[in-house]
Amino acid sequence: MSQKTAARFKAIFAPNSLRTQLLSRSLLILAVVLVLIGLFQYVFMKEVIYRNKATSMQSQIMSIYPTIREHLGTDQGNGDARPLRFYIPDAELAFIDTQGNFTALANGPDGIEPPVLDAQEYLDALSRRPALENGQESRQQSRAELESNYKLIDTGSVEKLVVLQPVVERGLAIGVMQVSTMTGPLTELALRLLLTFLFLSLIALLFALLAFLPVLRRTLDPLSNMVDTAGQIDAGNLARRFPTDQGQVEIDRLAESFNGMLERLETSFEAEKETKEEMRRFISDASHELRTPLTSIRGFLEVLLRGAANQPDQLHKALNSMHSESVRLTKLVHDLLLLTKLDRTPHIELTEGRMDSVIRDMEPQLRILAGSRTLELDIEPDVICSFETDKMKQVILNLFHNAVQHTDPVKGQIKISLAARDDGVNLSVQDNGPGICDSHLPHVFDRFYRSDSSRTRKYGGAGLGLAITKSIVNAHGGAISVESKEGEGCTFHIHFGAIC
């Protein structure tokens, strides 16, 4: 036997294992039930044996009554009576007349005389309905009366079973027949039956043990499978799942619960992994974006310290460059703070208003920003929606700035559309720029992501505008998406649903 098999066998049959506890407790319950059945059987069988013995002795008295009568007649002077023959081994026979005279008719083994009862017990026996008259059995006497006509007495050394049978002559009770025997053999018979039952019960327990082991093993196989699967999952395989169709309702429900928990854990771990990766990328990108203007400002300051401050042209050029870099740095910090605020407290106080009026009010500003580009507004009137005006203006401006940066200054075309639908409000910003390739589309809303770094930095962008736009749209309960083809421009779609 290998060490692995031995360890598995030891684990299965350990005192605290589920299999051992189920087996031992089931067998213990079965053994207790069998012992209780044996004890009840002993008590009831003992009573049945006593009653059968009493009935047998009554029947014997009835069968030999003519001989007993002749024998009683011999005591009264008739000397030619037949000898008394009593066919119950180890039994004593006696006759008690109505005056209480006790006559022993047959002694037991070793000459033991019949026991003498209290006179009241004989009187009680005479008062019962007689069973014998002229040696014949009374057909009207019930079996219950026959079976109840016995008692147990303790003579001091042994216990005896005594049957009292009234005798009637010509309608008059003339006495009571008493037959008695020791209960020892009867008790031994009941004990032998009990021991036989217990022996058979022990054999049954052994067979139950042999039969229960494979049944128990097969019953616990689903649980063992779950233990093995849990061991594999514990080793780091979170993609493994518990089987949910093993034929046991409780185990299947437990497996489904564990699978749901594993899915949540796997999702949580993946989300944590993605969050850490995004945080790492965010810190790296933020550090890079902050370092660039700071390095530029530091370089211009070093130029001024080396004497350029005394040269007006170089001084003016350096100051302008530092001012533009400081503006860019301020905007970057402002965008980062705004993103942090949106992440921490995304709830926005919404008020109902006309979104078409907001866009119409922004039209002069948008045309100034568009410059020589063509601006087209396709705005439906009376589009009612719930929004925060300043945040909605920032969304429109961010998307419009993005379109301006990626379109030709003269041939560029930008279109803003607003329409009410049955399921909400649709807002879109479309341009005819170079478009976005398919590999960049999934990342356009990531922070610090730029499909054209040199061109974006030329206009002071840091790749946070679309990320801020998405956060604001999400805070409004809406959804933003983009569709684009290279060389044909791109379109940003915003949909506000039930909240509007």
**Structural domains in the chain?**
1-219 (no CATH), 238-345 (1.10.287.130), 349-496 (3.30.565.10)
Instruction: Please report which confidence band the pLDDT of residue 218 belongs to, taking 50, 70 and 90 as the band edges.
Output: confident
Taken as a whole, the chain contains a residue count of 500
- Please give the pLDDT value at position 156: 76
Instruction: Please report which confidence band the pLDDT of residue 54 belongs to, taking 50, 70 and 90 as the band edges.
Output: confident
Instruction: Please report which confidence band the pLDDT of residue 228 belongs to, taking 50, 70 and 90 as the band edges.
Output: confident
- Please give the pLDDT value at position 416: 92
Q: Could you tell me if 413 and 433 are in contact, meaning their C-beta atoms sit under 8 angstroms apart?
A: no
Quickly count: other Cβ atoms within 10 Å of residue 356's Cβ.
20
CA 395 to chain centre: 49
Instruction: Please report which confidence band the pLDDT of residue 75 belongs to, taking 50, 70 and 90 as the band edges.
Output: very low
Quickly count: other Cβ atoms within 10 Å of residue 125's Cβ.
22
- Distance, CA of 447 to CA of 281 (rounded, Å): 9
Instruction: Please report which confidence band the pLDDT of residue 286 belongs to, taking 50, 70 and 90 as the band edges.
Output: low
Cβ contacts of residue 431 below 8 Å, gap of 6+? 403, 406, 407, 412, 413, 414, 415, 489, 490, 491
Reduced to 3 states (helix: H, G, I; strand: E, B; else coil), residue 193 is helix
H or E element that contains 431:
strand 424-431
Strand partners, 137: 132
**Would you state the structure tokens that stand for residue 292, as one six-digit string?**
């660039």
Q: Is the pLDDT of residue 129 over 70?
A: no
- Please give the pLDDT value at position 16: 65
Interval 460-476 mean pLDDT: 76
- Distance, CA of 101 to CA of 67 (rounded, Å): 20
Strand partners, 478: 496
For all residues of the chain together, what is the average pLDDT?
A: 76
**Would you state the structure tokens that stand for residue 100, as one six-digit string?**
């209480």
The residue with greater pLDDT, 163 or 111, is 163
pLDDT in tens, 413-464: 999 999 988 888 999 999 998 888 888 888 788 776 666 544 444 444 556 7
Instruction: Please report which confidence band the pLDDT of residue 77 belongs to, taking 50, 70 and 90 as the band edges.
Output: very low
Interval 274-286 mean pLDDT: 71
- Please give the pLDDT value at position 463: 67
Q: Which of 231-235, 322-326, 434-438 ranks highest by mean pLDDT?
A: 434-438
